[in-house]
Amino acid sequence: MRPEPGGCCCRRTVRANGCVANGEVRNGYVRSSAAAAAAAAAGQIHHVTQNGGLYKRPFNEAFEETPMLVAVLTYVGYGVLTLFGYLRDFLRYWRIEKCHHATEREEQKDFVSLYQDFENFYTRNLYMRIRDNWNRPICSVPGARVDIMERQSHDYNWSFKYTGNIIKGVINMGSYNYLGFARNTGSCQEAAAKVLEEYGAGVCSTRQEIGNLDKHEELEELVARFLGVEAAMAYGMGFATNSMNIPALVGKGCLILSDELNHASLVLGARLSGATIRIFKHNNMQSLEKLLKDAIVYGQPRTRRPWKKILILVEGIYSMEGSIVRLPEVIALKKKYKAYLYLDEAHSIGALGPTGRGVVEYFGLDPEDVDVMMGTFTKSFGASGGYIGGKKELIDYLRTHSHSAVYATSLSPPVVEQIITSMKCIMGQDGTSLGGGWAAWWLTPVIPCHNQGKECVQQLAENTRYFRRRLKEMGFIIYGNEDSPVVPLMLYMPAKIGAFGREMLKRNIGVVVVGFPATPIIESRARFCLSAAHTKEILDTALKEIDEVGDLLQLKYSRHRLVPLLDRPFDETTYEETED
Amino acid sequence: MATATEQWVLVEMVQALYEAPAYHLILEGILILWIIRLLFSKTYKLQERSDLTVKEKEELIEEWQPEPLVPPVPKDHPALNYNIVSGPPSHKTVVNGKECINFASFNFLGLLDNPRVKAAALASLKKYGVGTCGPRGFYGTFDVHLDLEDRLAKFMKTEEAIIYSYGFATIASAIPAYSKRGDIVFVDRAACFAIQKGLQASRSDIKLFKHNDMADLERLLKEQEIEDQKVKLKYKYKARIFLEESLSFGVLGEHGRGVTEHYGINIDDIDLISANMENALASIGGFCCGRSFVIDHQRLSGQGYCFSASLPPLLAAAAIEALNIMEENPGIFAVLKEKCGQIHKALQGISGLKVVGESLSPAFHLQLEESTGSREQDVRLLQEIVDQCMNRSIALTQARYLEKEEKCLPPPSIRVVVTVEQTEEELERAASTIKEVAQAVLL
């Protein structure tokens, strides 16, 4: 068993297979022994039976409750900022203060206004003040250390000037570089350079016309082998993969059940499809089951006709929460209710599972159970683009009906080569491309490329566990699953968003801070993305600085009292319908 | 003392009752009876949700059969079997094993093969690797991106430009950033699919006007003005113009700046120009340019910009070098125009096929003069022509559309693309090959 996370002593009843039934819920339910006894007396321990046997490994996910004082202070903070915002707007309107932002042309002043004034209130008065934490330009490989171009602002972030200095060697905790393939040396880069020489950078045509290169066919075959599915198809942009293929799969008369915290691309694809969308609470399987039951029993809203298809949209790792989807339960539900599952593995492919095959391998499930396996090449493969894998009929259909195949340019050849080389590295083959076919793959000698793929995956897992454990011990509130390489650290108060980002940069660490509207208004956070390229020294340095800044800004909110997830009561109001 | 006052009040009340007019008492009596009725009547139930028993629900769940996830695709579907291009899709390519001259890729300025472009991309690859590993907001902004945006803005003589990592996503993200529910958009019927998707995502009111017909547009604008009560049409009717220049950027105009330069229009009059870099610039991605007031908004509301990884730096470097080449040799645009005119003329008068498109455009269509009546039949005929041309080393392609999704589906056609790399002799050969094949197939 792994070492116990958390500094406080915990008493948990754990079964041999790692999951829990009829006992204290293991999911992030941590109490010290004294408190546990007291709580038991008070009847607070909830006995929840988890579907024992579905989970082959412990599933530790936790979202600690926001401390009440912090929530109140956060609202007060936003209130003060809003008041000041109104004051500044007033001053700008009466020209007491100089107006920095761009304005409409003189000739067009009486046109219908292009933007709603209120929409921009947040941007003008809150976002602008801490704008220097985002869009930081870099000028080196986004590896474990990165060079950031220094910029200065003399008018409170309305405009930036580059000083010409470059801050070198900043520890990069913001780029999605899970397996460390963002490199400018090594076999991947050499292969890509060769292909660039031969093929050029662009393609100038779509897949269905004359843009289908032999490289694309090679890539798709490799992706299918990597995932363990029958066939796969690759696209030029991960975002577009979702927004262009979901409309091809479902349409009017179909139902989409989408997780609360799904990515914008999934939401856009669902809306563009014209199907009815219902949202279930984040990772909450009772909510999903209720929606499925009601959908099948009551049919379409007014006509009561049965639904044509039901599609469940989930992600492998949710990048803002750091949580992992409860895939075994979703698959059990999908089989019971005959729905289809669309799994978006943008962050989890390459990052989870003993050999990096994603969340399906992490839970030890069969890839054939997932109807549509989608993912991107941006995060773990150091390239760009997306893919969809599944049965051959599905891929054939997408080849003919996907918007991207008909109207959008295909992937650029050097990018394709980078994906092929990095995927082969992860699979443990050598870097040169082969003609394909099972015999060739089997007979290829295993030659280590820059760092054997499996080692990268293991290094990432170790880094994840170590980093999360140390942060929890320090007393920060960390959301999400213990095994997810995305680590959100809660900041809550608006001023701390800016302060954290700036203080960390002063100490030569680049972090990503996120606030409203990407997160709920009081739950702003800093998000660390771990990488296999981070060595233990780098992590230790980072942890030391985070500790310092945490003390400086008083960020150690955790009281080690976590809310068991399955206890969140769901009610009739989880059933929402959006009319499109 | 208290009871006395109470009694006294009661007496007053009884007196009032006697003195009240009859209609008043009757009205009050009716009201009281009505209230009593309402109190005791059953509440109105909207739907009886609990009418189905658990067993019935389970039966329904058992019985329900969904449609298959995807309908089966027939094996001979025209789009199922892609052409496989071995090697780069440059001027001379190998398609399905045959060596052909490329008349199908949108490589207008021949920059796909240019050694300078490749060298610049290679230098960038050696410095930055391939991917950017993040969106623009989170350490995905490279100095190359800022450079490219700067160069594009300077080239187009606008204040600011913004780049996207995918050509299709450019206009499809730009439109919903500005136009929302309750806004109205006037669109040409022949607008490309990316624009259609952008409009669908924006949920605005859409009014289509006939292709290139300004009178029709004016009629629609007048109707809207009456309803509201409230380039010259723009200022008269107070509308904004968004221009999509994917195929005209790098082709039209003296310096390749597109339609605005071609017609001599002040670029400030156009609110937003959007183009993709996948045609003339032979790279990947797209950009929007215009005044800062307009473009800056997309940095926070453009979905394809904020929620997607940024353009790989090697492609941005390739685009910068391509821009350099365009700026250094403004003569190629005239050359391209000439070649377009030449082949346009040469392809007139083929029996059975008509040329559709302006003579200035480097990409034009060959449609069947008389349709056979069924679209599938037409498609098959045209495919036959394309295949035979490929056998004679001329690579052509049919223009592909999603038949069920397009708003105004154009008739099937063969698309011919002219590039600066094609010599006059090759153009002549292509024209004569197409003529021969068309005669053979259509007669």
Interface size between A and B, measured as CB pairs under 8 A: 343
Contacts of B10 (CB under 8 A, 6+ apart): none
pLDDT per position as a tens digit, A242-299: 999 999 999 999 999 999 999 999 999 999 999 999 999 999 999 999 999 999 988 8
pLDDT top residue among B350 and A464: A464
User: Which residues in B lie closer than 8 A to residue A196 (C-beta atoms)?
Assistant: 118, 121-122, 125, 314
On whether the CB atoms of residues A6 and A473 are closer than 8 A, the answer is: yes
Report the alpha-carbon distance of residue A29 to residue A61 in Å, rounded.
9
The 8 Å CB, 24+ separation contacts for A33-36 are A33/A9, A36/A11
CA dist B263 and A471 (Å) reads 62
B137 to chain A, any CB pair closer than 8 A? The answer is yes
d(CA B435, CA A462): 67
**What SS3 class is residue A15?**
coil
Taking the CA of residue A111 as centre, how many other CA atoms within 13 Å lie in the half-sphere pointing to its CB?
Answer: 21
Burial class (CB within 10 angstroms; exposed 0-12, middle 13-18, buried 19+) of A424: buried
State the sign of the Cα–Cα–Cα–Cα dihedral B230, B231, B232, B233.
negative
CB contact under 8 A, A189 and B126: yes
Mutate to test the interface with A, among B124, B138, B314 (most CBs of A within 10 A): B138
The model's confidence at residue A329, banded by pLDDT at 50, 70 and 90, is very high
Q: Do A192 and B125 touch (CB under 8 A)?
A: yes
> So what's the pLDDT on residue B440?
87
Tokens coding A212: 């289908």
Distance from CA of A401 to the nearest CA of B (A): 7
Assembly ipTM: 0.84
For residue A196, give the nearest of B118, B137, B299 by CB distance. Answer: B118
Confidence of residue A22 (pLDDT cuts 50, 70, 90): very low
Query: Do the beta carbons of residue A234 and residue A312 sit within 8 Å?
Result: no
Q: What is the pLDDT of residue A158?
A: 86
Q: What is the mean pLDDT of residues A233-247?
A: 93
A412 CA: distance to closest CA in chain B (Å): 7
DSSP letter assigned to residue A156 = T
Q: Which residues in chain B have their CB less than 8 angstroms from residue A351's CB?
A: none
CA distance B262 to chain A (A): 23
- What stretches of A438-493 show up as alpha helix (H) in DSSP? 438-443, 453-474
Q: Given a cut of 80, is residue A436 above it in pLDDT?
A: no
List pLDDT tens digits, range A341-357.
Answer: 999 999 999 999 888 89
* Distance, CA of A375 to CA of A388 (rounded, Å): 7
Q: What is the pLDDT of residues A43-57, one digit of tens each?
A: 333 333 345 567 877
In tens, the pLDDT along A513-545 reads 998 878 888 899 999 999 999 999 999 999 999
* Cβ <8 Å between A192 and B130: yes
Cα Rg, chain A, nearest whole Å:
25
Structure tokens at A198: 């031969």
Q: Which tokens sit at A60?
A: 């530790």
**End-to-end CA gap in chain A:** 49
Beta-carbon separation of B131 and A198 below 8 A? no
* B186 touching A (Cβ < 8 Å): no
pLDDT at A14 exceeding the cut of 70: no
φ/ψ (deg, to 5) at A422: -70, -35
> Beta B205-209 vs B184-188: how paired, if at all?
parallel
- Out of A139, A172, A407, name the one closest to residue B193 (CB): A407
Contact B402 A406 (CB under 8 A): yes
Tokens standing for residue A575: 């059933």
Residue B134: both structure tokens together: 């993040």
Q: B166-202 burial, b if ≥16 CB within 10 A, otherwise e?
A: bbbbbbbbbbbbbbeeeebbbbbeebbbbbbbbbbbb
Query: Which residue is closest to B49 within chain A, CA to CA?
Result: A298
Which residues of B are less than 8 Å from A371 in CB distance? Answer: 69
Q: How far is Cα B198 from Cα A330, in angstroms, rounded to an integer?
A: 33
pLDDT of residue A522: 86
CA distance B288 to B243: 10
B61 in contact with chain A, both atoms CB, cutoff 8 A: yes
- Collapsed DSSP state (helix, strand, coil) of residue A478: strand
pLDDT in the model for residue B1: 54
Say how many CA atoms lie within 13 Å of A350 toward its Cβ.
30
Rounded to the nearest angstrom, the minimum Cα separation between B244 and chain A is 15
pLDDT at position A451 is: 53
For residue B239, count CB atoms less than 10 angstroms from its CB and return exposed for 0-12, middle for 13-18, buried for 19 or more.
middle
Q: Which residue of chain B comes nearest to A404, CA vs CA?
A: B168
| Cβ of residue B290 closer than 8 Å to a chain A Cβ | no
The verdict on a CB contact (< 8 Å) between B312 and A136 is no
- pLDDT above 50: residue A419: yes
Is A15's pLDDT higher than 80? Answer: no
Query: Looking at the complex, does the CB of residue B373 fall below 8 Å from at least one CB of chain A?
Result: no
Per-residue confidence (pLDDT) for residue A580, from 0 to 100 = 36
CA torsion, ordered B128, B134, B140, B145, to nearest 10 deg: 80
Distance to chain A for B197, nearest Cα, Å: 8
A574: its two tokens: 């989880």
Interface test with B, best of A116, A138, A239 (most B CBs within 10 A): A239
pLDDT-wise least confident of A8-17, A257-266, B302-311: A8-17
In this predicted structure, what is the pLDDT of residue B49?
57
Determine which helix (DSSP H) or strand (DSSP E) holds A388, and give its type and residue range.
Answer: strand A386-390
Chosen for mutation from A111, A197, A204, A422 (greatest number of chain B CBs closer than 10 Å) is A204
Closest by alpha carbon to A141, among A189, A104, A101?
A189
Rounded to 5°, angle at Cα B165 from A102 and A533: 110
Name every chain A residue with its beta carbon within 8 A of the beta carbon of B304: 237, 239-240
**Mean pLDDT computed over A357-374:** 92
Comparison of pLDDT for A501 and A119, the residue scoring more: A501
- Determine whether the interchain pair A307/B66 forms a contact, defined as Cβ–Cβ distance below 8 Å: yes
Helix (H) or strand (E) holding B256: none
Residue B154 contacts residue A364 (beta carbons within 8 Å)? no
Q: Summarize the confidence of residues A439-452 as an average pLDDT.
A: 45
The pLDDT of residue A429 is 75
Answer whether 0.80 is exceeded by the pTM: yes
| pLDDT band at residue B154 under the 50/70/90 scheme | very high
Candidates B133, B143, B387, B409: best to mutate against A (most CBs of A within 10 A) is B133
Q: What is the mean pLDDT of residues B151-163?
A: 93
What would the two tokens of residue A275 be?
């199907």
> Who contacts B247 (Cβ-Cβ below 8 Å, separation ≥6)?
B106, B279, B361, B362, B363
Give the distance, in angstroms, between the CA of residue A417 and the centroid of all CA atoms in the same chain: 25
Mean pLDDT within B309-319:
93
* pLDDT value at A37 more than 50: no
User: For chain B, what percent of residues have pLDDT higher than 90?
Assistant: 28
Tens of pLDDT, residue by residue over A543-568, are 999 999 999 999 888 877 545 444 44
Q: Give yes or no for B52 touching A (CB within 8 A).
A: yes
Rounded CA-CA distance A543/A518 in Å is 25
Over range B216-228, report the average pLDDT: 82
A106 pLDDT exceeds 60?
Answer: yes
Burial environment of residue A522 by CB neighbours within 10 A (0 to 12, 13 to 18, 19 or more): buried
B239 close to B216: Cβ distance less than 8 angstroms: no
pLDDT averaged over chain A?
A: 82
Query: Distance between CA A262 and CA A465 in Å, rounded?
Result: 25
Give the mean model confidence (pLDDT) for residues B125-133.
Answer: 91
